[in-house]
Amino acid sequence: MTTPRFHYRPPDFGVAPLSDAPDATFGPMIADGVLPEGFFSTTNLPTYLRIGGTWRRPRSPRMDCVIVMDAEGQLTAREPRRLTQGTPVALGEAEDGSQGIYVHTEGFLGGSRSANEFQFMATAVSRERPVDYQQLAEQLAEERTGGGHIVWVAGPALVHSRARSDMTWFIENGYVQAFLGGNAIAVHDLEAALFGTTLGMTAEGESVAYGHGLHMRAINAIRRAGSIDEAVRSGLVTNGIMHALVRHGVPYVLAGSIRDDGPLPGVITDVLAAQDAMREQTTRATFAVLVATALHAIAVGNMLPAYVDQGGDRLRPLPTICVDQTEFVVNKLRDRGTHQAHGVVTNAQDFMHVLRFYIERWEQAPGRRVRRG
């Protein structure tokens, strides 16, 4: 909150470069509501124009306006639509005084932020920021080609929605070197494999009769088989995420949590033992993708270094992609110290689908040869 004990320090116009600045220039409105080329577009910050050697502030400051000088020489910030042909408006793009206009940001922006420029779209994590899937796909593909250790951390929403087949595709095509999650994602995945539903909801979003018991029946079937691996080997489970992990020998860790039903055999119910198992993977990670999970994303973020140590002085940032429906989880992850997290604010299903599409395109590029694992 802005403190009342604020002391404004005006710019020091007596020293360079401000002392050497030229006078501001003005140009006439081309037509009613039509500005001259190169008009100065205002911010909401204290702004000074040099007029006849003197620095003056316009009245009625606001952003997205222009500065006009009236017959008495009075400066005012005005909406362009209100100005008639011929009215003189200030010209210039620069805000540093070099064109006779100075925007004084000091003390009005940011607090701890260094950013000394008035700008839009400065928030780091936002649904409004574009996602560069192409760059992300390229990076992931090169990591795979280069023998990196790509660690995926995923929540059950990945199976609820239809990203299940996309996640399976990533495993089958060598983009997953370790898979970290909880009991729930495996339960939903196995319910889907055995009954075609997740929590009793079909892939089309319909509820089936008495569907609420199906995840319990799935758990029981696996317990009867003895283990997830055995359920795959015996042919009980023939598709999905766990199937792909087992078939391709990808290490996975399922950490128990207080909300688990079952649990499935293989779930590590002691959380410290589960942490130790996860950390075996995180210490080797060269790339991390965290999808649709707050609990596990923060847990793994906690264990991940911010960088990959390639020996000697060869360090590089550890790319850490965090995908969630809202900005909250990504910001929380960053607020817990995982500053390198790059947020992708979208639906997990769509993320998986689009990313896979871009990777397939990358793989199909002429001259590219992708070895299958």
Name, in order, each residue with C-beta under 8 angstroms of 42's C-beta and a sequence gap of 6 or more: 58, 61, 62, 63, 64, 65, 66, 67, 77
Binding range to a copy of itself, per CB under 8 A, among 15-23, 104-112, 238-246, 360-368: 104-112
Query: Token match 């990203």: residue?
Result: 163
CB of 321 to a copy of itself, least distance (A): 8
| Buried-state track 198-214, b at ≥16 Cβ within 10 A, e below 16 | bbbbeeeeeeeeebeeb
106 near a copy of itself, judged by CB under 8 A: yes
3-class DSSP state of 335: helix
86 near a copy of itself, judged by CB under 8 A: no
Binding range to a copy of itself, per CB under 8 A, among 15-23, 220-228, 234-242, 361-369: 220-228
Select the residue interacting with a copy of itself from 85, 142, 360, 361 (CB under 8 A).
142
CB of 73 to a copy of itself, least distance (A): 18
Binding range to a copy of itself, per CB under 8 A, among 166-174, 238-246, 327-335, 360-368: 327-335
What string of H, E and C letters represents the secondary structure of 57-109?
Answer: CCECCCCCCEEEECCCCCEEEECHHHCCCCCEEEECCCCECCCCEEECCCCCC
From CA 142, how far away is CA 79, in angstroms rounded?
51
74 near a copy of itself, judged by CB under 8 A: no
The answer to whether the beta carbons of residues 352 and 159 sit under 8 Å apart is no
Other Cβ atoms less than 10 A from the Cβ of 6: the count is 8
What string of H, E and C letters represents the secondary structure of 109-139?
Answer: CCCCCCCCCCCCCCCCCCCCCCCCHHHHHHH
20 near a copy of itself, judged by CB under 8 A: no
Select the residue interacting with a copy of itself from 68, 80, 179, 244 (CB under 8 A).
80
CB of 266 to a copy of itself, least distance (A): 13
In this structure, is the dihedral angle defined by the CA atoms of residues 322, 323, 324 and 326, taken in order, positive or negative? positive
CA proximity to 353, closest of 296, 297, 291, 294:
291
- Tell me whether the omega of the peptide bond preceding residue 251 falls within 30 degrees of 0, making it cis: no
Binding range to a copy of itself, per CB under 8 A, among 12-20, 170-178, 201-209, 241-249: 201-209
216 near a copy of itself, judged by CB under 8 A: yes
Residue 192 or 242 having the CB closest to a copy of itself: 192
157 near a copy of itself, judged by CB under 8 A: yes
247 near a copy of itself, judged by CB under 8 A: no
Select the residue interacting with a copy of itself from 263, 289, 322, 359 (CB under 8 A).
263
Residue 209 or 372 having the CB closest to a copy of itself: 209
Other Cβ atoms less than 10 A from the Cβ of 130: the count is 6
Q: How many CA atoms lie within 13 A of 241 on its CB side?
A: 33
231 near a copy of itself, judged by CB under 8 A: no
148 near a copy of itself, judged by CB under 8 A: no
196 near a copy of itself, judged by CB under 8 A: no
346 near a copy of itself, judged by CB under 8 A: yes
Binding mask 115-134 for a copy of itself (x = CB under 8 A): xxxxxxxxxx-xxxxxxx--
CB of 79 to a copy of itself, least distance (A): 8
Residue 53 or 111 having the CB closest to a copy of itself: 111
48 near a copy of itself, judged by CB under 8 A: no
CA proximity to 241, closest of 161, 305, 170:
170
179 near a copy of itself, judged by CB under 8 A: no
From CA 251, how far away is CA 115, in angstroms rounded?
43
364 near a copy of itself, judged by CB under 8 A: no
